[in-house]
Copies of this chain bind each other. A is one copy, B any other.
């Protein structure tokens, strides 16, 4: 939708469901829909894989044959983790595979939530390796910039360690907070009547698909386990301060996390 609204590309959408593809065409997200991957990519200059991460890894080997006769076609993906995908992408397609990850989107899934300005001002991470072809990388960067994103390069591993903290950990916390609320509401029936802004923010991404996020979390399990370990240490400091009625230690813990006006981000 972002490309088409700018007149930048002829977009073929590949999906499982004719209904979804018809809706995507109606909403202006695609020019044409195909349920067959082979038909979808046969005249593509650039292929963007935008399915759940485990499915991206499964799809990549099919592209080896499908794109054999089109050596200049570049392939990228927009999956939330990069190391496993880039490994599978390079195994299937070599130097013309370029992993990427636009830091955009919401907890809502489906083409009905598509917006042509989704990428405006967003950061779009590009994760090249030593193998990546420079021209292929340049074309993915141009794609990202053409829809208004700022690109940044980093390694797949650095990407995964970073988003484990900035994205995957917040999702885990939101699901866990929501689960606690649901459980406690069984004995405190007024619970959700007393939920206001901090509850809404803290559980917003618990609207996201558990299947999708289960895959993402598993595909980045080491980095996410490290992030969770750091988080539980921080949480334990709060628990100790509370248990010991230690106002100074509690203030220190909250101050470590306090975002003041001057470091707004």
Chain A interface residues (CB < 8 Å from chain B): 103-107, 122-123, 125, 152, 154, 158-159, 161-163, 165-167, 169-184, 188, 190-199, 201-211, 213-214, 217-218, 221, 224-225, 227-228, 230-232, 234-235, 238-239, 242-243, 245, 247, 250-251, 253-261, 265
Check B190 against A162 for contact (C-beta < 8 Å): yes
B residues less than 8 Å from A255 (CB atoms): 210
Which of B179, B194, B250 is in CB contact (< 8 Å) with A218? Answer: B250
Distance in Å: Cβ of A219 to nearest Cβ of chain B: 11
Distance in Å: Cβ of A94 to nearest Cβ of chain B: 27
Copies of this chain present? 2
Main secondary structure of the interface of A (DSSP, over half): helix
Check B234 against A228 for contact (C-beta < 8 Å): no
Which of B173, B206, B221, B242 is in CB contact (< 8 Å) with A258? Answer: B206
B residues less than 8 Å from A213 (CB atoms): 254
Check B198 against A167 for contact (C-beta < 8 Å): yes
Known A199-B170, A206-B258, A211-B251; judge A243-B225 contact (CB<8 A): yes
